[in-house]
């Protein structure tokens, strides 16, 4: 991560209903002088990895949805079918934090959104509106708000959302079925849909595999993360829009159903490089950003825009992306080239105690991180929990932005660079790669090419460096390593790596 986290041990925080303890764990990569953020963890002791837990203690806080509800209240959906309201989470007195159950009996809700006088959750079979009509703090109305994606009963038949874009649309995404039902006979599996006011849904985009997280940028455009697997060579971040196909054809049979916004004009170009496949299939939209496997995690989840007026560092407008397997949070910078999004990804926060699934900013600029392993493995020593990340101390030296140019890239930094090392082309190295597009599970990085750094020009203020790079390739990931670079204070980059998805050369 660019901002190393530190752990502060605190006491029980959720009162007598359930003793939720702040539990310490080991973090990798911590160096003195880089402790810019602190993690405060509220984690229920009812964990399969906690041998001290006794039946009946605590609540299984497997966070699957989060929404901020007021000055000091957060709503949390729990994967096993409940919604909880937690109050007092921003105070300094843990004894004053309380929570109560608002709703129960839901079928694996994987999202939560406040909407008027109610709350929307997406269950496996529908989007449901929860309302408390008598004011007792407990939902007494469970109303179908939208439905229309079919359910086969497959284990992986998840549905996610809703998330609202800048135009007011409510987006829902669905997993493809897997295993013995990988042909996905149920329509709209692996699709992104918009829930309409009349309760119907409109299919918008196809080609998704496991689209666990959505999030909107400051322009109001919706983005979705997917996860490496069959037909998905590594983790992508896609811009959701109507009539496009992404990578996974396992749900494409629904293109024949009434209301489909697209029809593929060519057969699936299996066995080609990804760059060749995009050129061969006009409806195939490249991701805005690829997150290289393991270097940037293995399974992306939620997306949250940074819009905190500098309270969370100089990254407003960028996206945070949750990471399940590696228990972290990555950072994505986007720009538009030729009217389409593309950009770079950077390591950011690591060392969380369980799989990161949901992200939500609080009014004070701190970040709440909801976790659940859902039976799969992740780094860390807990199975689930709720974490608060607060800015504390100075930021480390980091690459803030990476922008494409016709002959290379502009790098923008969080603090002034040392002119000598920053102006030396030997301080940098760059290599590009693509992936094999096939039904195999993931892909190695292939067709690699080293790119010479021809020059490095430092701006007068020391915050920007222009790299002239030879032989740029469209539809390839360009991996930068700036290991020789130093700040004006003599510090190295906390993370010297950045990965730019160059769909178009400006």
Map residue 251 onto helix, strand or coil. helix
Do 429 and 363 reside in the same domain of the chain?
no
CA dist 489 and 378 (Å) reads 37
The pLDDT value recorded for residue 58 is 65
DSSP 276: H
What is the four-CA torsion angle of 314, 308, 217, 150, rounded to 10 degrees? 130
- pLDDT above 90: percentage of residues in the chain: 75
What is the four-CA torsion angle of 216, 217, 220, 226, rounded to 10 degrees? -40
pLDDT band at 153 (very low <50, low <70, confident <90, very high): confident
Do 48 and 85 reside in the same domain of the chain?
yes
Q: State the CATH number of the domain containing residue 262.
A: 2.120.10.30
Do 403 and 383 reside in the same domain of the chain?
no
CB 209 within 8 A of CB 158: no
- What's the whole-number mean pLDDT along residues 157-174? 97
CA dist 247 and 267 (Å) reads 13
Least confident interval from 30-34, 80-84, 379-383, 413-417: 30-34
257-316: pLDDT as tens digits: 999 999 999 999 999 999 999 999 999 999 999 999 999 999 999 999 999 999 999 999
| Mean confidence (pLDDT) of the chain | 87
Do 30 and 152 reside in the same domain of the chain?
yes
Q: In what order do the strands lie in the sheet with 244-245?
A: 159-164, 170-174, 192-195, 201-206, 244-245
210-240: pLDDT as tens digits: 999 999 999 999 999 999 999 999 999 999 9
Q: H/E element holding 278?
A: helix 274-280
356-370: pLDDT as tens digits: 999 999 999 999 999
CB 305 within 8 A of CB 318: yes
CA dist 285 and 416 (Å) reads 37
Do 260 and 136 reside in the same domain of the chain?
yes
- What's the whole-number mean pLDDT along residues 189-207? 97
Find all residues with CB under 8 Å of 243, minimum gap 6, and list them: 204, 205, 261, 262, 283
Do 318 and 216 reside in the same domain of the chain?
yes
26-70: pLDDT as tens digits: 233 322 222 456 656 443 333 333 445 444 456 788 999 999 998
The pLDDT value recorded for residue 188 is 94
Do 81 and 151 reside in the same domain of the chain?
yes
pLDDT band at 430 (very low <50, low <70, confident <90, very high): very high
Query: 294-321: string of b/e by CB count within 10 Å (b at 16+)?
Result: eebbbbbbbbbbbebeebbbebeebbbb
- What's the whole-number mean pLDDT along residues 390-399? 86
Domain final residue pick, 360, 391, 422: 391
445-461: pLDDT as tens digits: 999 999 999 999 999 99
Domain final residue pick, 391, 424, 451: 391
Do 296 and 329 reside in the same domain of the chain?
yes
Least confident interval from 72-81, 153-162, 177-186, 412-421: 177-186
CB 473 within 8 A of CB 502: yes
- As given in the structure block, the two tokens for residue 417 are 């660079």
Domain final residue pick, 357, 391, 425: 391
The pLDDT value recorded for residue 376 is 80
Res. 8: pLDDT tops 50: no
Q: State the CATH number of the domain containing residue 426.
A: 2.60.40.1220
Measuring CA to CA, which residue among 439, 288, 350 is closest to residue 7?
Answer: 350
The pLDDT value recorded for residue 61 is 84
Res. 92: pLDDT tops 90: no
Do 368 and 249 reside in the same domain of the chain?
yes
Do 363 and 457 reside in the same domain of the chain?
no
331-342: pLDDT as tens digits: 999 999 999 999
Do 296 and 414 reside in the same domain of the chain?
no
Query: 244-281: string of b/e by CB count within 10 Å (b at 16+)?
Result: bbbbbbbbbbbbeeeebebebeeebbeebbbbbbbeeb
**Number of structural domains in the chain:** 2
CA dist 203 and 260 (Å) reads 6
Beta strands at 201-206 and 244-245: parallel, antiparallel or unpaired: parallel
CA dist 399 and 463 (Å) reads 10
Res. 22: pLDDT tops 70: no
151 against 182, higher pLDDT: 151
Domain extent at residue 116: 4-391
**Rg of the chain over CA atoms, in angstroms?**
23
The values of phi and psi at residue 425, to 5°, are: -55, -25
Do 55 and 116 reside in the same domain of the chain?
yes
């Amino acid at each position: 991560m660019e901002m190393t986290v530190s752990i502060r041990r605190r006491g029980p925080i959720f009162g007598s209903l359930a003793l939720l303890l702040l539990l310490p764990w080991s973090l990798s990569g911590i160096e003195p002088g880089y402790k810019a953020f602190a993690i405060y963890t509220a984690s229920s002791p009812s964990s399969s990895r906690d041998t001290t837990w006794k039946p009946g203690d605590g609540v299984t806080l497997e966070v699957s949805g989060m929404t901020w509800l007021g000055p000091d209240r957060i709503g949390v959906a729990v994967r096993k079918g409940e919604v909880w309201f937690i109050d007092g989470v921003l105070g300094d007195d843990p004894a004053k934090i309380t929570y109560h159950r608002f709703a129960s009996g839901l079928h694996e809700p994987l999202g939560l959104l406040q909407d008027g006088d109610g709350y929307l959750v997406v269950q496996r079979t529908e989007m449901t509106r929860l309302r408390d009509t008598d004011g007792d703090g407990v939902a007494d109305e469970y109303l179908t708000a939208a439905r229309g994606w079919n359910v086969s009963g497959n284990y992986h038949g998840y549905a996610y959302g809703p998330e609202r874009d800048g135009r007011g649309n409510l987006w829902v995404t669905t997993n493809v079925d897997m295993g013995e039902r990988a042909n996905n006979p149920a329509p709209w599996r692996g699709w992104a849909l918009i829930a309409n006011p009349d309760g119907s849904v409109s299919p918008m985009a196809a080609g998704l595999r496991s689209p666990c997280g959505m999030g909107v940028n400051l322009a109001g455009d919706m983005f979705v993360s997917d996860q490496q697997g069959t037909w998905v060579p590594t983790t992508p971040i896609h811009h959701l829009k109507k009539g496009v196909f992404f990578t996974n054809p396992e749900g494409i049979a629904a293109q024949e159903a009434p209301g489909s916004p697209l029809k593929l004009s060519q057969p699936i170009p299996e066995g080609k490089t990804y760059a060749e496949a995009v050129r061969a299939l006009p409806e195939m939209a490249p991701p805005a950003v690829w997150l290289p496997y393991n270097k940037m995690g293995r399974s992306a989840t939620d997306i949250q825009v940074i819009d905190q007026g500098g309270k969370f560092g100089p990254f407003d407008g960028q996206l945070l992306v949750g990471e399940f397997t590696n228990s972290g949070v990555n950072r994505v910078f986007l720009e538009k080239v030729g009217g389409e999004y593309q950009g770079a990804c950077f390591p950011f926060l690591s060392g969380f105690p369980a799989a990161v699934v949901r992200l939500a900013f609080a009014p004070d600029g701190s970040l709440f991180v909801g976790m659940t392993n859902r039976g799969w493995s992740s780094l860390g020593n807990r199975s689930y929990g709720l974490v608060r990340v607060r800015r504390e101390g100075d930021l480390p030296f980091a690459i803030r932005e990476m922008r494409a140019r016709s002959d290379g890239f502009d790098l923008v930094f969080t603090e002034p660079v040392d002119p000598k090392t920053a102006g030396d082309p030997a301080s940098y190295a760059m290599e590009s790669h693509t992936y094999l597009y096939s039904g195999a599970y993931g892909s190695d990085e292939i067709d690699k090419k080293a790119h010479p750094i021809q020059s490095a020009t430092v701006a007068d203020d020391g915050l920007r460096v222009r790299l002239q790079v030879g032989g740029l390739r469209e539809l390839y990931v360009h991996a930068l390593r700036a290991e020789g670079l130093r700040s004006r204070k003599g510090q190295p980059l906390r993370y010297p790596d950045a990965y730019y998805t160059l769909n178009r050369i400006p």
